[in-house]
Each structure stands twice: as C-alpha cells, then as structure tokens.
Amino acid sequence: MTRIFFACDAHGSVPVMRKMARVHQTYKCDVVMVCGDLTGKAIVPIVEEKPGQWWSSPFGSKEKYKSSQDLEAAKKAYEKRGFYWFLTTPQELAELQSDSGKVTELFARLMIERMRDWLKLIEENVPENVKVVISPGNDDSQAIDDLIKASNRVVYPIEKVVEIDMDHSMISCEWVNSTPWGTPRECPDDELMSRLQREFDRVAAYDNLICNFHAPPYGTRIDAAPKLDDKQTVKVRYGTPDMVHVGSKSVRTMFEKYQPLLGLHGHIHESPGIERIGRTACVNSGSVYTQGMLNAFVIDLPKKADGKVEVLNISA
C-alpha cells in the first residue's frame, strides 16, 4: 500500500514545520502532505530600549526581557505560535507605526524568509524516495507559490493532476467559500463550484481519485466552527461556543456527484475527524499549531478501487 502522512494549517509554527521534516522517519510514509494555510498571521516587534534590555507587547501588556536568555525564550514562544518576530528600536517602531506600507513589506519579507528556511529543511532531511506535496490555503499570500514551485524536492499540486502512485491521482483546490475575514483565496460558494469543476474535468475516472480541497464539505462533523456575532466575537451558549457549519456546499455537491475515493481537508481547526459522503472518506486533521503540536492523519491507500481507505488519526 501507499502510505500518506497528511497535515494542514501549520500557520508558520516553527516547531510544527520542523516536525513535518521528520515524520517520514517515524511513520514510514511514502507521501508527506502539508496542505493549506502555511504562513503566519502576525508580526511582533521586539524593541531594544537600551543595551541588554528588550520588550514586546503581542497581547496588549508589555513583556520585558532583561537577559539574552529571556530574549531567546520569547523568540521561541513567538515562533511556536507562528508569529514573525523582529528586533527593532523605538525610533524604527515609530516609523513603522506611521507607515502601513512598510509594515506590509516587512511582513512579506519575514514570511518569505521562514518559508524558504522550511523548504530548505525539507530538502536537506527528507529522502528523495518520499514524495513531498505542499499546497497553500486561503490565508496564504500568492507570494509563497513561486517559492514552492522552485523547490526541486517539493510537488506544487495546484491546477494539475498529481500521480500519488500508479493507482491514485490527486486534484487540488486551495480556495474556500467566503469567510468573515476576507482572506486572499476565498470566493462565493457558487464561484468555488466552478473552480472545483475545472479540477474534476482534469481526470477521466474518479474511483481512485484523491481530492486535496482545503475547504471541508458542508454539514459534516469536520466543518463546525464557533458562531460569530456582528463584531466577530464568538457566541457562547451555556458556557460553550455555539457551533455552526461553515464548510462548502459546493465541495459536498461535487463529492455526492463524483464519489471520489478520498477528500483531504483543513481550514476549520476546531473540527478534526472523519466523515463519509457515500463512498468518499473525508478527513480534517484540525490544527493546534499555537501549541507547537502537529495533528495529522496517516492514510493507507487501497490497491483496488473497491478497497477501503485505512485511516489513523495521530498527534505528533
């Protein structure tokens, strides 16, 4: 059988990315897939007030570091959460606060640097007999795509058919249905339907087809997220978040129509699990990247079209 290690939504967490470069050793997988939302969401200035003393304020209150050891611990804590830290001075910080364009440029530079470091880590540590597939998600800027494409060790699967093995092909779509956040790769669900149809049109058969679609299918156990009010605040009922389905109706419709073998999804961090839509097994590994943990599925593909997908959910 062909064994896939599938994870998603790393969001720039350095410990998660480092683990992804080693999972082949433990799980003896043939294919390593990291799909969707690869990059971080925030930058954190670490300000040097005077020699040997620094501070930052990522969550509103000022945190002070009075030694190089404290400073290094802070850097690692931010990297675990996927934040991009940078050293600066009070004067430079004031200049950034007055110029949003400079902030955008800095964010892009730090994001590219971390992606480049991660790809280098994969190139240096994952042997050539292991296929590595990396695809962006709705939160990711288009700026990272060329980096992935340029790697001679990584498969960029967007807008193409990837042969996972002799029996199984894969199509991909990184776009999702509309969200409250206005992310770079989202669109109304009817437009997403057209994007998905273009991917299905690339193949002639569906029995052994794998669909790497970042958006999970609507109305399942893998697409439930906290309900938000008009101010984007989580609505709570009886002390717990009120959960609603936020996945794609188009993904569900296409799975009901074509019945592919496997759907690989992410996007909704709170809803890891397995769901079946007819014969199609759908998985979402969820994400706890802020804790530096790597959630994933290990999937053994069947040799025959009528075989069952064997799935093991893991936390690494």
> 114-130 pLDDT, tens per residue?
999 999 999 999 999 99
User: Is a pLDDT exceeding 90 seen at residue 44?
Assistant: yes
Structure tokens at 171: 């199509």
Which pLDDT score, from 0 to 100, does residue 302 have?
81
Count the neighbouring beta carbons within 10 Å of the beta carbon of residue 139: 24
Asked if residues 310 and 261 have their Cβ atoms less than 8 Å apart, the reply is no
Percent of residues, the chain, with pLDDT higher than 70: 95
Q: What is the pLDDT of residues 92-108, one digit of tens each?
A: 999 999 999 999 999 99
Residue that is written with structure tokens 């109305």 in the block: 219
Going by pLDDT thresholds of 50, 70 and 90, the confidence category of residue 286 is very high
User: Is a pLDDT exceeding 70 seen at residue 273?
Assistant: yes
Which pLDDT score, from 0 to 100, does residue 304 have?
64
Question: What distance in Å separates the CA atoms of residue 223 and residue 209, rounded to the nearest whole number?
Answer: 21
The DSSP secondary-structure symbol of 39 reads: S
Residue that is written with structure tokens 């802020």 in the block: 290
Residue ranges and CATH numbers for the domains of the chain are 2-42+107-315 (3.60.21.10), 43-100 (no CATH)
The DSSP secondary-structure symbol of 67 reads: S
Task: Name residue 129's beta-bridge partners.
Answer: none
DSSP string, 171-212: EEE--EE--TT--TTEE-HHHHHHHHHHHHTT-S--TTEEEE
User: Is a pLDDT exceeding 50 seen at residue 299?
Assistant: yes
Asked if residues 58 and 30 have their Cβ atoms less than 8 Å apart, the reply is no
Higher pLDDT, 240 or 306: 240
Residue that is written with structure tokens 């969707």 in the block: 36
Which pLDDT score, from 0 to 100, does residue 306 have?
55
Among residues 2, 18, 3, 23, the alpha carbon closest in space to that of 127 is found at 23
Which pLDDT score, from 0 to 100, does residue 234 have?
75
For residue 15, give the 3-state DSSP assignment: helix
Lowest-confidence segment of 77-81, 101-105, 302-306 by average pLDDT: 302-306
Q: What is the pLDDT of residues 192-237, one digit of tens each?
A: 999 999 999 999 999 999 999 999 999 999 999 999 887 778 777 7
Count the neighbouring beta carbons within 10 Å of the beta carbon of residue 87: 13
Helix, strand, coil in percent for the chain, rounding step 5: 30, 30, 40
Which pLDDT score, from 0 to 100, does residue 289 have?
96
Going by pLDDT thresholds of 50, 70 and 90, the confidence category of residue 81 is very high
User: Is a pLDDT exceeding 60 seen at residue 137?
Assistant: yes
- Cα dist from 84 to 80, 81, 110, 160, whole Å: 10, 9, 6, 32
Average pLDDT over residues 252-267: 97
Q: Is the pTM of this model over 0.85?
A: yes
User: In degrees rounded to 5, what are phi and psi of residue 177?
Assistant: -70, 165
Among residues 76, 155, 162, the alpha carbon closest in space to that of 122 is found at 155
Asked if residues 291 and 14 have their Cβ atoms less than 8 Å apart, the reply is no
Q: What is the pLDDT of residues 165-199, one digit of tens each?
A: 999 999 999 999 999 999 999 999 999 999 999 99
Angle formed at CA 266 by CA 238 and CA 170, multiple of 5 degrees? 155
Task: Name residue 169's beta-bridge partners.
Answer: 163, 209
User: Is a pLDDT exceeding 80 seen at residue 312?
Assistant: no
Provide the mean pLDDT of the chain: 93
Which pLDDT score, from 0 to 100, does residue 280 have?
95
